[in-house]
Chains A and B, each alone.
Chain A
Amino acid sequence: MQLRTLQKILWAVASFATLAFGTWQFSQDRGPSVGEQAPFRPTFALPDAEGQLRTQADFEGKHLLVFFGFTNCPDVCPTTLAEVAQVMDDLSAQAANVQSLFISVDPVRDRALGLAEFTGAFHPSILGLAGDDTQTRAAADSFYIHYERQDDTTAPDGYSMSHSPALYLVGPDGDWLRQFSYGTPAAEILADLRSRL
């Protein structure tokens, strides 16, 4: 009983924290200037398709365009990766200063289905990363994003993943700069990036 109460309190605290982060992230969406209020540096250590561990330090000096998703996702993920691919194409020579990352929130299944094959079909420059549960959770936490497995008998293998669908921009020194909410047109992302490069 004691524990139950404690659990309830912990859940309440966790829910409040989630809400607070959600509200905070939403406010970040307004523009890059708001990001100055609370600078932070996301971190990750995740293997790529070949199994080589990649961290944020590998990309120092480049802007990172980061998307969390899963390859079995038919709607949101292809739509966003298609936009990222368009941005990378349109950046032409400046693309050398931008690394786009696809971080799997469904790493076991995505590895089985083919991670590089998926990202490569959109754009050869998109790097897919898929770690274990701990690595994935740590990366998501450092970006303050949410993902969760959801049982769904109408989805492949009986489950789907809910996830924050935004694109995150990290600066060349590792600072989180802003997010582009789902559905931001490629042209808008391109214009924002160009103003920074």
Chain B
Amino acid sequence: MKTHILSALILMASTPAFACESTSIGALSVVGPWSRATIGAGRPAVFYVAITNGGASDDALVAISTPAASMPMLHETTVTDGVASMPHAMSIPLPAGQTVQLAPGGYHGMLMGLTAALTEGETFPITLTFEVAGDVTVNVAVLSLRAEGPDCGTDGQ
């Protein structure tokens, strides 16, 4: 695992190391929280992360909160009959033994009411609330507006 991350870091010299942060709470690992730089503070920002449930029982991500935005919400992009919509997700299931991605085109956090524009290279804290495991705060790396995600070797790039 360590060599994996290390080699990914060496390969992706342009990817900031903080984008590959991994934090554990109980049986859950929260890996590579990232966002995209925003154009001003008037439009919502996004929040992506990979969560692995290494435990034997299911959990769920039920809320996110951050000082960076007054109204952070969980959403899911769905494409039905060729039309994309973005319904609110009450909670994101984290089945035992599985990794769930909040990633472009699927589950994501939508950060509305930004307190300030997100600038590439900075980080901001976000608290994830899990149904079973409780709360954990991680640092979200702000990547470029054009980023498709950090290359941590673990987030399904």
Using a CB–CB cutoff of 8 Å, the interface residues on chain A facing chain B are: 18-19, 22, 25-26, 71-76, 78-79, 82, 85-86, 113-114, 117-118, 121-122, 146-148, 150, 152, 154-156, 160, 162-166, 182-183
B108 surroundings in chain A (CB, below 8 A): 74-75
**In the complex the two chains form, is A113's CB within 8 Å of B42's CB?**
yes
- Of the candidates A82, A113, A155, the one whose C-beta lies within 8 Å of that of B146 is A82
Given A75-B104, A75-B108, verify A160-B79 contact (CB < 8 Å). Answer: no
Q: Indicate if B140 sits at the interface (CB-CB under 8 A).
A: no
**Chain A, residue nearest B113 (CB):** A156
Do the beta carbons of A75 and B105 come within 8 Å of each other? yes
A74:B110 contact, CB within 8 angstroms: yes
Q: What is the total number of residues of chain B having a CB less than 8 Å from a CB of chain A?
A: 30
- A residues in contact with B147, CB < 8 Å: 82
Dominant secondary structure at the A interface: mixed
24 contacts between A and B (CB under 8 A): A26-B82, A72-B44, A74-B110, A74-B111, A76-B104, A78-B36, A79-B148, A82-B148, A86-B146, A147-B83, A152-B88, A154-B73, A154-B75, A154-B88, A155-B86, A155-B88, A162-B84, A163-B83, A164-B82, A164-B83, A164-B84, A166-B82, A182-B79, A183-B104
* Chain A residue contacts of B75, Cβ below 8 A: 75, 154
Separation in Å of the B38 CB from the closest CB of chain A? 9
**Given A82-B147, A117-B39, A122-B146: A75 in contact with B77 (beta carbons within 8 A):** yes
Partner of A74, one of B40, B44, B148: B44
- Chain A residues whose CB sits within 8 angstroms of the CB of B126 once the complex forms: none
